[in-house]
Structure 1
Amino acid sequence: MLLVPGAAESRRWEAVAAAVLRRAWGLRASPVAATTGWNHTWRADGLWLTCRPAAEGAAFRRETELFGRLNGCAPVSGVRAPVAVPTSSGGLCAEARGHVWRLTEELPGETPSGFHRADYPRAGEGLARLHGFLAGLGPRTAVQARGPVDLAAAQVARGVPRPADLPDLAAADRARLALGLRAVADGLAGVRAAPRQLLHGDPGLPNLRVDPASRELVAVLDLEAASVGPVEHDLGCIGLSAFSHREDDGIDGVAALASAVAAYRRGTGRTVDERAVYVLMLANEIRLLRELLRGARPGENLHSVVQWQFGRYRKVFDTWSRLRFQGERACLT
């Protein structure tokens, strides 16, 4: 579930997007806001227009450069990234209205719904191929300087949220947050010791494109969180997609994540610490909840989004509470 801006705000931004398309790319089109909430992304004549505040411009440009590197190795890796359309002046990005803008071509494939059980092992296989390429890139290629381990440590350092910070949450749910933070704190030592490499940063199913027939990964998008960290973080992002389903969807989150991890192991021949996967999932969920509760981007459906987000956290935490670990593998009790 995603934050949705008000109707007047949406219309204002669509008008701005149309003006930027005309001035920077010479295109006359009527942009239509994508169903990505406050991500500031529009569809226009088969292309995608995205913007970020000027303060995030350097990271936005690094992401665009990383797209180019991924596309350069696509014949080998089989995984593409968005292709930036040059502006009328030849640049890959444009600056206007206090934002940095980028226009990209449509990607091949379709977004995996997650309702196909095969989506999860295929995602694990595809992530293995993607990581094989990313491992060869140095830390300077990262879009973000702070990686998932740093972000997890920051959540622990902030401590348990006060009841006044979470007025809509029941006491039992506040207790879950406290216990989740304790689990992250206890697991950080193992996570810090794990090997690190450049990661996608957010390869949940919405940011993947698969071939409609084979369900194999053919493209990725949204690399704005690309950073250096343990591979378990990216696998945890796939896990969060698996835990996003309703109970009647027929997808078991634990089994779906396990199938992705098993496929990743086969594809890379490397070990994966499933305890670290769940620790980083918990840390990621707590961070997302805190960002929502800060209200930096107050959508009209903020309350519903917070409730949905905490519902997913509750599922992940309750699963964590029932897990036992044998070496690097997790099993339910």
Structure 2
Amino acid sequence: MVADKDFCRLGRAVLDTEAAAVTALAQRIGEPFARACRLLLDGRGHVVVVGMGKSGHIAGKLAATLASTGTPAFFVHPGEASHGDLGMIAGGDIVIALSNSGETDEINRLLPAIKRRRLPLIAITGNAESTLGQAADVHLDASVDAEACPLGLAPTASTTAALAMGDALAIALLDARGFTAEDFAHSHPGGRLGRRLLLRIEDLMHTGEAIPRVGPETPMAAALLEMTHKGLGMTAITSDDDRVIGIFTDGDLRRALDEGVDVHRTPIRDVMTAAPRTVESDRLAAEALALMERHSINALLVTGPDDRLAGALNMHDLLRAGVV
């Protein structure tokens, strides 16, 4: 029976081997890497990434990373390519091929077609003298001293090295293109980052009759009914021309009750928070969240370009939208 300490020892050995393989790549980032980046940066078509087996999984991940960071790319299975999927590859495209040995039959069978179409070829292999390495316009050395597998058979350190080299390409291109966080968000509109960087307050705020609002002379009891009816835990207090004078929240209510205020006779102006913090409707929803967190508040009034009340927003709206 294998002891716990042996599991841990083997796990650490794998991580040490793979870390060493990735660290060694840094010494190989030089002129070939720069040429590969230049080819990809100057390309006018798509980047087509191919790989078989475990390298195919890494190739698929590289294509996805490139596509989400500003370099249009897609994965083609080399086994399917020779059965019709070559039609997905057009003139002007660039091919990146991943194969640790550089002798993967399914990839090498594509080389004549790639050359015939005069497509630039970047190879990421562990053997520069291999068939694929020699055929490539640019060869990137992702060789490793040893696999992390104790049998030396399962692709482990070699696929990790190829993955890291692919990431290095993608991020170098991202920086060269001036790709921004907002650009990234446009590629990921369904993720939390996309929501935080794209969703604006005007997309979430309550508007029109859904905004709780009363005048400054409104009795506190009537203001409470407005708060209850609109369900946002607060009400705006506005002037006749709809400019924000104050806000009355659940917290203001607790303070007023502690002071023994007569809710039927007291006008809301006497217990409201005057000159409350507001936010413009065209700002990011994430900015509203930051403002709420900074000032420990749960609701905000939203104003338009004319400083008049345009909407209302609370923490629950941000939670429902996935901004929090």
Higher relative contact order (CA 8 A, sep 6+): 1
TM-score (norm 1): 0.22
TM-score (norm 2): 0.23
Rg larger in structure? 2
